[in-house]
């Protein structure tokens, strides 16, 4: 079976270094917020090009803490897309704010900047730009809108670690950026982990307090905080993987290029990449009107495909009818029934990707 993602294969690629890193932690004396986390934070900030990075427990917490750090409160609204991981929207509510959802554009599947002015109100405080599938949002239009209306720009980079927009690393453009390091992500831990980056040292101090009970000094809470600490084992593993992130992303781009050059089937639409960006193909997502049939066909040929995502958030039971959206959500709604994520991870072999292309090209109705 060729799977959609394969974090175990990545562990195998770097297992000697990862095992050594984990042993170093086990034999050390700090298991939470020690040297490994500090070093990871320093190395990641340098990699992204921000003054600071703060390790937290997972990507959802990263978003929630980012929103809280910006003093966004109950009653305030945060605009984002419905075409994203449910975590993006869940984090807005976890922070006590109100999510407002817009559609994505029909070509790149990232936030539709035109709808921002449709949904903005006096209560709007921030926009969360989600770099979906490893493709960058049109950050020019979105940051112009945010500047013009005095809104914070939060980047959700959970699917685009290492990607670039006009030469800048994603996560270095907005006021704050949030990364999930869930095992299947481009930079994945072997467990849960998340990172927040910012260029503002004051915000960074606040984020550090919020992740540990609001402490500035041990046992003394300055602000209402919580526990979202990153542990040393995950940080040590992430430090190993960070060293290979650019190499692994280049492998993902090569696989994507092979798919795009060789998939030829009139029922299938391949992804379109924005100019001026360096994508990192967290996922390689094609579209097909008979999606479920094609997935079944691939499954029968030993290829496991994924669906990101099958139901738009504004139509899911937990959210339906109580979340304000833009009037036209048709792109998101169409994507939910047409998208297919093909196997995509750096360790895929030439035989694997040839098999995937062959299976798709053979498909007919």
Ligand X SMILES: *Cc1c(COP(=O)(O)O)cnc(C)c1O
CB of 20 to ligand X, least distance (A): 25
Out of 159, 172, 234, 325, point to the residue binding ligand X (CB under 6 A).
159
Residues 243-282 that bind ligand X (CB under 6 A): none
- Is there binding between residue 194 and ligand X (CB under 6 A)? yes
Task: Classify residue 20 as exposed, middle or buried by CB count within 10 Å of its CB (0-12, 13-18, 19+).
Answer: exposed
Name the residue with the smallest CB distance to ligand X: 59
> Which range binds ligand X by CB under 6 A, 57-65, 70-78, 108-116, 142-150?
57-65
- Is there binding between residue 228 and ligand X (CB under 6 A)? no
Give Cβ neighbours of residue 195 (< 8 Å, ≥ 6 apart): 40, 41, 44, 53, 54, 55, 56, 62, 178, 179, 181, 230
Contact between residue 124 and residue 79 where contact means Cβ atoms under 8 Å apart? yes
Out of 47, 109, 182, 284, point to the residue binding ligand X (CB under 6 A).
182
CA–CA gap between residue 216 and residue 224 (Å, rounded): 11
- Is there binding between residue 180 and ligand X (CB under 6 A)? yes
CB of 192 to ligand X, least distance (A): 6
Nearer to ligand X, 64 or 352 (CB): 64
CB of 182 to ligand X, least distance (A): 4
What is the total count of residues that contact ligand X (CB under 6 A)?
15
CB of 229 to ligand X, least distance (A): 14
- DSSP for residue 115: G
Give Cβ neighbours of residue 82 (< 8 Å, ≥ 6 apart): 89, 101, 102, 103, 312, 313, 314, 325, 329, 332
> Which range binds ligand X by CB under 6 A, 32-40, 52-60, 161-169, 252-260?
52-60
CA–CA gap between residue 89 and residue 102 (Å, rounded): 12
Tokens of 192: 């849960």
Out of 10, 50, 60, 228, point to the residue binding ligand X (CB under 6 A).
60
Residues 94-153 that bind ligand X (CB under 6 A): 130
Contact between residue 240 and residue 17 where contact means Cβ atoms under 8 Å apart? yes
- Is there binding between residue 82 and ligand X (CB under 6 A)? no
- Is there binding between residue 88 and ligand X (CB under 6 A)? yes
Nearer to ligand X, 79 or 357 (CB): 79
Q: What are the strands of the beta sheet with 277-278, ordered from one edge?
A: 168-169, 164-165, 277-278
Residue 271 gets the label, from left (phi > 0), alpha (psi -120 to 50) or beta, of beta
Enumerate binding residues for ligand X (CB under 6 A): 58-60, 84-85, 87-88, 130, 156, 158-159, 180, 182, 192, 194
């Amino acid at each position: 079976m060729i799977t959609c993602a394969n974090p175990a294969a990545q562990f195998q690629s770097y297992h000697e270094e990862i095992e050594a890193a984990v042993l170093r932690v086990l034999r050390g004396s700090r298991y939470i917020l020690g040297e490994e986390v500090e070093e990871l934070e320093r190395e990641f900030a340098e990699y992204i090009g921000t003054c600071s990075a703060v390790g937290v427990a997972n990507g959802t917490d990263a978003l929630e803490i980012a929103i809280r750090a910006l003093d966004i409160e109950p009653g305030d609204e945060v605009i984002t897309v419905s075409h994203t991981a449910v975590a993006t929207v869940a984090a807005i509510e976890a922070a006590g704010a109100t999510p407002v959802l817009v559609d994505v554009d029909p070509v790149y599947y990232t936030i539709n900047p035109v709808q921002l002015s449709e949904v903005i109100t006096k209560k709007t405080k921030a926009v969360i730009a989600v770099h979906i599938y490893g493709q960058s949002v049109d950050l020019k239009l979105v940051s112009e809108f945010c500047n013009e209306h005095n809104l914070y720009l939060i980047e959700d980079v959970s699917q685009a670690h290492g990607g670039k927009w006009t030469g800048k690393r994603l996560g270095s453009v907005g006021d704050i950026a949030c990364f999930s390091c869930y095992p299947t992500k481009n930079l994945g831990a072997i467990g849960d982990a998340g990172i927040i980056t910012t260029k503002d040292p004051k915000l960074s101090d606040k984020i550090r307090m919020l992740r540990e009970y609001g402490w500035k000094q041990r046992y003394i809470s300055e602000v209402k905080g919580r526990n979202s600490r990153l542990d040393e084992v995950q940080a040590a593993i992430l430090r190993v993987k960070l060293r290979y992130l650019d190499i692994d992303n280049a492998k993902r781009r090569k696989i994507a290029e092979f798919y795009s050059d060789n998939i030829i089937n009139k029922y299938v639409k391949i992804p379109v990449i924005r100019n001026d960006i360096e994508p990192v193909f967290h996922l390689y997502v094609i579209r097909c009107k008979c999606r479920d049939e094609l997935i079944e066909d691939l499954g029968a040929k030993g290829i496991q495909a994924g669906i990101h995502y099958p139901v738009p958030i504004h139509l899911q039971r937990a959210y339906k009818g109580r979340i304000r959206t833009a009037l036209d959500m048709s792109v998101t709604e169409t994507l939910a029934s047409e998208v297919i994520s093909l196997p995509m991870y750096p360790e895929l072999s030439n035989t694997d990707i040839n098999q995937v292309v062959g299976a798709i090209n053979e498909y007919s109705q």
